[in-house]
Amino acid sequence: MSNISTPFSVAAIQYNPKLNRRNANIRELKKYVREAAEKGAKLIVTPEMATTGYHYLDRSAISSYVDTIPGLTTAQFAEIAKEYNTYIVIGMAEVDLETGLYYNSSALVGPNGYIGKYRKIHQWVVENYWSCWGDIGCPVYETDIGNIAMIICQDSTYFESARLAAVNGADILCFPTNSSSASISMLQHWAEMNGLYIVSANRSDKEEDFNMVGLSSVWSPYGKKLAEAPMTIDEKDPAPYILEGSIDPAQFENPAKSRMLERRMESYKELMLFLGPWDYTKNTHARNIKAASIQYEPEIGSKEVNLAKVKQLVREKVEEDVNLIVLPELSVIGPMELQKKQDIEPYAETDDGPTVQEMKKLAREVGAYIVFGFAEKELPHFYNSALFISPEGEVIGKHRKIHLDHWDERWATPGKRIMVTPVNGFGRVGMMIGYDATFPEVAGVLAVKRADMICIPASWTGDYGVELSMNQDVFPKPYPKGTVSTWDAVAKGAQSYTIVSNFVGSKYGFKGRSAIYNLDQNYTNDQTVIASSDQEEVLVNAFQTMKTDWWLDQENLILTRRTAYYKPLVTREPPFL
């Protein structure tokens, strides 16, 4: 719990240690930490393995440079913390004296000395040769400046890491890293989605042919970039850099923290499953998909007008070889601000009602799979639902919106199940609806169930998500203008191609940006495409599922999840509630 009510300064030390020179690295690192403290920083974060460098071949290679936590290293930085009344996070190699095991760790010290540590849960291949997987979960430490958690580098590839910090009550997430761009590219997403300040400290040099790009950063709980260090690529002996930012404790309470009240943990239990190499349900063949997202302005409440518009756009704008079409949430009525449950009655229908019959006809006519949203009636309940229809005109999948928002909370019953529909010769298709996307657990379950693609009918007015603002020079191909963090997080977090369909205009001001998201912006064999914010259009993109020629795909994601530490995501309400 923070005892400070006014904004305070923080610093990330962009520092480049040398291999096999721990004592010299510590002396030099202390100099920059002290400089940041003298400038008034109340929290100072250093990079991953900041005292030793990163590349060690095996346990014997690093054995001379590990230290206990607490130990000599933490004691030296604790002196600075005490002198300047500040908090310091040190990335370091740890030895556990009791077991003799080594860990890639970070330690937190403050004005009163050692506070706590974190051991990296999700490791990259390099440290696997000497380091054990972290075994203490994601602890959160109460300090005078707020509740602090730590994760390290590769951890950010997995939504669970930052989510654990948030669920465990963190206000600030410290992120030591040695990143070439992948791990730092997700920080804005996780800051906004979890309501966390994130302070990231990266290196900016080259070690053993591995380039680290700098771009240390500070992100707000609203996903706003508060500070970003320079990017460095192939620069010889780049100088250390002290990045300064500011944290406002008034923002520790924010919309994302409020959303924690709406988590539906009974629907997330499958996050705890480890479906490793013996998962016989997964797809084993890549499929060529050409998807279309239909974006239009709805006539609120008019099934006839909206259905006619959908048919016209599909018939006139959808190319013949498109095999998947996605429509917005509540496709033919649009979201409505109703006052009570009974008000939806005139618009709702069963899953074999007239609108469903029209969509079946359309699917047969164009020979494509169609995902569309409707108000489902299954008395005594109504649901905000989406159906998945085959080219033969059969309903083969259904999703009932799990997380309700202001559009539907007065009339809809929440759904309970997160499901994937397997289709022979096409792939495994998952669905979520609108506001569901703000809960990363949904995409996580779809990944566990091996969704090759995720369809999101949406009715988005800009009330969640932010446009990505990380330095785009780090990517071989920049993100398109209008990329929304929430939907990109679904695709990247689940390693599943994600097709979003949204409305534009109307009295509610829908903001479009329908999209088809790829799996990694560094992967140049496919692309993310984004529609406009205000025009009716059909957005088309072709991709091949099951990207297997890259360092990360869904298979590798699943095989490297650490489910033993995810239990708080499915069992625990955040302490601040």
DSSP state of 132: B
Contact 271, 516 (CB under 8 A): no
Residue found by looking up tokens 């000395």 in the block: 113
User: Bigger pLDDT: 277 or 200?
Assistant: 200
Strand ranges of the sheet holding 225-228, from the earlier edge strand across to the other edge = 140-143, 146-150, 172-176, 197-201, 217-219, 225-228
Amino acid at 144: D
Residue found by looking up tokens 């060690």 in the block: 56
Q: What confidence tens digit (pLDDT) does each residue in 161-195 have? A: 999 999 999 999 999 999 999 999 999 999 999 99
Which structural domain range is residue 20 located in?
A: 8-257
* Catalytic residue annotation: 48, 120, 153
Whether 2 is in a domain gets the answer: no
Average pLDDT, stretch 124-146?
A: 97
Asked if residue 336 and residue 193 are part of one domain, the reply reads no
Whether 278 is in a domain gets the answer: no
Q: What confidence tens digit (pLDDT) does each residue in 420-430 have? A: 999 999 999 99
Asked if residue 297 and residue 245 are part of one domain, the reply reads no
Asked if residue 239 and residue 108 are part of one domain, the reply reads yes
Asked if residue 188 and residue 62 are part of one domain, the reply reads yes
Give me the percent of the chain exceeding a pLDDT of 90.
Answer: 92
Using pLDDT thresholds of 50, 70 and 90, give the confidence band for residue 276: confident
Whether 119 is in a domain gets the answer: yes
Using pLDDT thresholds of 50, 70 and 90, give the confidence band for residue 522: confident
Asked if residue 388 and residue 447 are part of one domain, the reply reads yes
Asked if residue 224 and residue 318 are part of one domain, the reply reads no
Asked if residue 158 and residue 19 are part of one domain, the reply reads yes
Whether 295 is in a domain gets the answer: yes
Whether 576 is in a domain gets the answer: no
HEC secondary structure over 390-410: CCCCCEEEEEECCCCCCCCCC
Give me the percent of the chain exceeding a pLDDT of 70.
Answer: 99
Q: What confidence tens digit (pLDDT) does each residue in 408-418 have? A: 999 999 999 99
Asked if residue 230 and residue 359 are part of one domain, the reply reads no
Asked if residue 390 and residue 249 are part of one domain, the reply reads no
CATH code of the domain covering residue 69: 3.60.110.10
| pTM exceeds 0.75 for this model | yes
- Collapsing DSSP to helix, strand or coil, 503 comes out as coil
Contact 489, 498 (CB under 8 A): no
Asked if residue 301 and residue 249 are part of one domain, the reply reads no
Asked if residue 231 and residue 308 are part of one domain, the reply reads no
Distance from C-alpha of 177 to C-alpha of 523, rounded to nearest angstrom: 21
Whether 422 is in a domain gets the answer: yes
DSSP 188-232: HHHHHHHT-EEEEE---SEETTEE--B--EEE-TTS-EEEEPPB-
Quote the tokens at residue 573: 């309400």
Whether 156 is in a domain gets the answer: yes
Count structural domains, the chain: 2
Asked if residue 296 and residue 232 are part of one domain, the reply reads no
Whether 574 is in a domain gets the answer: no
Average pLDDT, stretch 79-104?
A: 98
